[in-house]
């Protein structure tokens, strides 16, 4: 793990990069990284996240700034700007059932090629996918999803990068932290090593590449 | 009937389906109202799919924390014995059959009990969120919806809107009736207090099985 | 969740039942449930667990008592009695790579039909399995595993059945707690509701069917 | 050379492959010795597959807790910054490529670098444990084994024992040599201080690429 500034963190991300971003309706999203993406004007981003949040919050800021080329999410219904851009053809949207999305990301992080799920069978979510029978039941083959970067927000980080999360701000964060080539984390509080008990560490330090310094 | 009354009849009737110890997931809209009719001390667990079991009331002003919200991002509190978890676990609970009952809103339900509730093509594309997972994975799926929309039936021979799942739901509760779907059959279980069987049949253009005696909803 | 005695808990389990049992070399295994299985002489058990522990410890006691018909595990190498019974044909052994075993159990608990893994490709672990190509890579289709009962040992249980685990005694316990029709838990300490912070609950109360009273 | 010396040469040489920040998984046998040659303050993370990163030394008498052990069930302690997790996460780290280096013992390695290390048919059937996952999933696989067993080579044209994975290992370190497997080729990188290239070739019945200059192992 390397400690860096928020400017250095975002400077690493090229235009067109794929980013998994933590958060659920903006709760648990690394807002400092989002704000810096907007400030540096990183364009054509592919964003993989639960949702498009709301205008002015989390991923909503990236969409409002016109920086997003494509969103892979389970819903964008509470962000009218995202819907407008989609209808105008400015932004591509892949809608994925929420449970399928998180399992595809987990598969990417856990070295699985994919998972077999009944969710989406017989619906538009089945389009373009293989069906497989296991023990007499049908499943869709849902393939693993990875990204170049994961932008993670923790509640506590210790000084070597162990992370823990608070309440419903956990959501996608620990899962995406496993599924990207480069993991960049911010934290509400950076604490000395040992402050987070071993049983309470959710993301182990060795998977975190960069921890953004607090100011 | 005014829509608020209708919604509360539906919510109140569905609340009677819940038992102590059950893990229950409520969708947005009418389903959210169900919790109003479940006593706090009854021992029903409510799951919020953003990663919480044991949602408590909205906190007093100045007492909320930004890390504890409902699935819409609004501040909530947590009851004693609450627990939190990541989204993989949240959907593991849903897809693994650990959720005993889910209550979801509906746009249409077809003659086999298949639900459409996530998309009106050309109108809104909000995304399916967790709806497909809930219908596919929960042990029992209850649809909470008004019987008709602008005078047109919502229980229809074939859904014209995209399906949420190929798997049928178990129960549809409206302000007029309780209808069970079982083995491809649709059975009229109950009618609302002021509603006759004939009225339900007139508003429900599918083949509905009717027993000799159809009880009134207990509310 | 229902509180019961250890005798009542084991009395529910029929001869021939399939049991997932927590523990890793006996660490984190519910020894009181094991001892009671032996005392009540439950026979022809199918045991799904990481390993066969050692003689005199955990699953080793069940094997020594001749109660096990079949073991599904990743290794039995440190239990000579298990190996003897296997060679004598008294006990069936399905050996599964450890990562595959835990993912198959997780799939069973998380409603997945199975997972796609590269582990075992081109080895004896591939025998009888389907191969599938995803994005140009080969994977084995490893199917979900469930059992009738899960025997779980926690460090803390609260009075409604929320569970947390200690250190390396966690291992398979939270995963099997999701994958069985009936979940029976023991705990080192049973504490009042609220003592385990929401973020530290690992197994949520609603998945625990029975919590065994401490004496 | 006596076996203990051989094992320590192997362990010492492998320790030089580790860098600060790496997540490392050591198998049983010779691999365990590698940790002896890695300074505590170097910042290498050791994973124990029973669910621990940050294994510390064996605790003093009376200070062990039954819930903190190594993968063999023996008491250990935890270093500051240690973390614990369930078996799904433990193998997620292994299979997802988060383990930078795994060091495993070997029974045989073939000309393509494929390892057999889990079973001697008709003799022991301990089970593969985590070996198949480690070889398949870790970013880099190093085999730590003696060059020969009872005078017979362990690096062989074709394994007679069941393979651990079809995927080749990256490096084999013995008390005689360091051999890299890359793109189907086997390359002699180094020899032990007292060992000649000719001696290695004589004990290694596969096609081994030899550069003009083969350095000695730095130990």
D61 is catalytic: no
Which chain C residues contact residue B130 at CB under 8 A?
none
When pLDDT is averaged across residues B23-44 and rounded to a whole number, the result is 92
Per-residue model confidence (pLDDT) at position C215: 86
Are A115 and C117 in contact (CB < 8 Å)? no
Taking 90 as the threshold, does the pLDDT of residue D129 lie above it? yes
When pLDDT is averaged across residues A136-143 and rounded to a whole number, the result is 98
The mean pLDDT of chain C is 97
The verdict on B66 touching C (C-beta cutoff 8 Å) is no
Share of chain C above pLDDT 70, in %: 100
Tens of pLDDT, residues D82-94: 999 999 999 999 9
Taking 80 as the threshold, does the pLDDT of residue B89 lie above it? yes
Q: How far is A134 from chain C (nearest CA, A)?
A: 7
Which amino acids of B are annotated catalytic?
A: 49
Are B68 and A202 in contact (CB < 8 Å)? no
Local confidence band at D28 (pLDDT 50, 70, 90 cut-offs): confident
Which chain D residues contact residue A162 at CB under 8 A?
81, 83
Domain A2-98+146-212 falls under CATH 3.40.50.2300: no
Per-residue model confidence (pLDDT) at position A77: 87
Are B165 and A121 in contact (CB < 8 Å)? yes
Per-residue model confidence (pLDDT) at position B40: 81
Interface with chain A: mutation pick from C173, C199, C204, highest number of A CBs within 10 Å = C199
Per the rule left: phi > 0, alpha: psi between -120 and 50, beta: everything else, D43 is: left
Are A137 and C112 in contact (CB < 8 Å)? no
Per-residue model confidence (pLDDT) at position B163: 97
Per-residue model confidence (pLDDT) at position B98: 98
The verdict on C131 touching A (C-beta cutoff 8 Å) is no
> Which of C73, C76, C124 is closest, CB to CB, to D162?
C124
When pLDDT is averaged across residues D116-122 and rounded to a whole number, the result is 84
The mean pLDDT of chain B is 94
Taking 90 as the threshold, does the pLDDT of residue B28 lie above it? no
The verdict on C171 touching A (C-beta cutoff 8 Å) is no
ipTM of this predicted complex? 0.97
Tens of pLDDT, residues A117-133: 999 999 999 999 999 99
> Which of C106, C108, C194 is closest, CB to CB, to B80?
C194
Taking 70 as the threshold, does the pLDDT of residue C73 lie above it? yes
Q: CB-based contacts of A102: which residues, under 8 Å, 6+ apart?
A: A50, A172, A175, B87, B88, B90, B91
> Which of C24, C28, C119 is closest, CB to CB, to D137?
C119
Structural domains of chain D sorted by starting position, each given as residue range(s) with its CATH number in brackets: 3-210 (3.40.1080.10)
> Which of C137, C143, C165 is closest, CB to CB, to A135?
C143
When pLDDT is averaged across residues B132-158 and rounded to a whole number, the result is 97
Are B165 and A122 in contact (CB < 8 Å)? yes
Q: How far is B33 from chain C (nearest CA, A)?
A: 22
Taking 90 as the threshold, does the pLDDT of residue A200 lie above it? yes
Q: What is the 3-state secondary structure (H, E, C) of chain C?
A: CEEECHHHHHHCCCCCCEEEECCECCECCCHHHHHHHHHHCCCCEEEECCECCCCCCCHHHHHHCCCEEEEEECECCCCHHHHHHHHCCCCEEEECCHHHHHHHHHHHHCCEEEEEECCCCCCHHHCCCCEEEECCEEEEEEECCCEEEEEEEEEEEECCCCEECCHHHCECHHHHCCCEEEEEEEEEEEECCCCCCHHHCCECHHHCCEEECCC
When pLDDT is averaged across residues C27-54 and rounded to a whole number, the result is 98
Taking 80 as the threshold, does the pLDDT of residue D1 lie above it? no
Share of chain D above pLDDT 70, in %: 98
When pLDDT is averaged across residues C124-132 and rounded to a whole number, the result is 96
Tens of pLDDT, residues A42-78: 999 999 999 999 999 999 999 999 999 999 999 998 9
Task: Please tell me which residue in D49, D61, D199, D209 is annotated as part of the active site.
Answer: D49
Taking 80 as the threshold, does the pLDDT of residue B52 lie above it? yes
Tally the C-alpha atoms within 13 A of residue B78's C-alpha that lie toward its C-beta. Answer: 24
Sorted by where each begins, the domain ranges of chain A are: 2-98+146-212
Taking 80 as the threshold, does the pLDDT of residue C171 lie above it? yes
When pLDDT is averaged across residues B94-101 and rounded to a whole number, the result is 98
Per-residue model confidence (pLDDT) at position D125: 67
Q: Which of B218, B132, B122 is nearest to B178 (CA)?
A: B218
Tens of pLDDT, residues D35-79: 999 988 899 999 999 999 999 999 999 999 999 999 989 999 999
A96 within 8 A of A103, measured Cβ to Cβ: no
Taking 90 as the threshold, does the pLDDT of residue A85 lie above it? yes
Q: Identify the closest residue of chain C to D116 by CA–CA distance.
A: C123
Are D52 and A198 in contact (CB < 8 Å)? yes
Give the span between the Cα atoms of B92 and C177, in whole angstroms. 12
Tens of pLDDT, residues D160-182: 999 999 999 999 999 999 999 99
Give the span between the Cα atoms of B116 and D144, in whole angstroms. 59
> What is the value of pTM for the model shown?
0.98
The verdict on C100 touching A (C-beta cutoff 8 Å) is no
Taking 70 as the threshold, does the pLDDT of residue B125 lie above it? no
């Amino acid at each position: 793990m390397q400690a860096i500034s928020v400017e250095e963190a975002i400077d690493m991300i090229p235009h067109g990069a794929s980013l998994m971003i933590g958060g659920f309706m903006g709760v648990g999203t690394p807002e400092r990284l989002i704000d810096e993406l907007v400030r540096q004007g990183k364009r054509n981003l592919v964003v993989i996240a639960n949702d498009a949040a709301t205008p002015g919050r989390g991923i909503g800021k990236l969409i409002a700034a016109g920086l997003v080329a494509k969103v892979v999410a389970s819903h964008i219904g509470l962000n009218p700007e995202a819907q407008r851009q989609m209808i105008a053809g400015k932004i591509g949207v892949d809608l994925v059932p929420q449970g399928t999305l998180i399992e595809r990301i987990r598969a990417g992080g856990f070295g699985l090629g994919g998972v077999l799920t009944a969710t989406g069978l017989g619906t538009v979510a089945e389009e373009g996918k293989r069906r497989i029978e296991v023990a007499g039941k049908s499943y869709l083959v849902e393939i693993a999803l990875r990204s170049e970067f994961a932008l993670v927000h923790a509640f506590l980080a210790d000084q070597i990068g162990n992370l823990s999360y608070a309440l419903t701000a956990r959501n996608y964060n620990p899962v995406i932290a496993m599924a990207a080539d480069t993991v960049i984390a911010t934290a509400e509080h950076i604490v000395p090593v040992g402050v987070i008990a071993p049983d309470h560490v959710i993301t182990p330090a060795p998977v975190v590449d960069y921890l953004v310094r607090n100011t | 009937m005014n829509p608020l009354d209708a919604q509360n009849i539906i919510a109140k009737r569905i609340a009677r389906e819940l038992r102590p110890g059950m893990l229950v997931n409520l969708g947005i809209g009418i389903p959210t109202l169900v919790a109003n009719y479940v006593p706090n001390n009854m021992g029903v667990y409510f799951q919020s799919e953003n990663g919480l079991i044991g949602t408590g009331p909205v906190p007093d002003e100045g007492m909320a924390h930004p890390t504890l919200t409902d699935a819409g991002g609004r501040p909530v509190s947590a009851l004693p014995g609450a627990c939190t978890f990541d989204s993989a676990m949240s959907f593991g609970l849903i897809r693994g059959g650990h959720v005993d009952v889910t209550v979801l809103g509906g746009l249409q339900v077809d003659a086999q009990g298949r639900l459409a509730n996530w998309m009106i093509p050309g109108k809104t594309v909000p995304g399916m969120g967790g709806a497909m997972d809930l219908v596919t994975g929960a042990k029992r799926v209850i649809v909470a919806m008004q019987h008709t929309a602008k005078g047109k039936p919502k229980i229809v021979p074939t859904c014209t809107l995209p399906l949420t799942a190929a798997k049928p739901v178990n129960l549809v509760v409206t302000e007029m009736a309780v209808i069970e779907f079982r083995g491809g059959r649709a059975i009229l279980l109950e009618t609302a207090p002021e509603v006759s069987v004939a009225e339900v049949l007139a508003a429900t253009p599918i083949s509905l099985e009717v027993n000799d005696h159809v009880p009134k909803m207990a509310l």
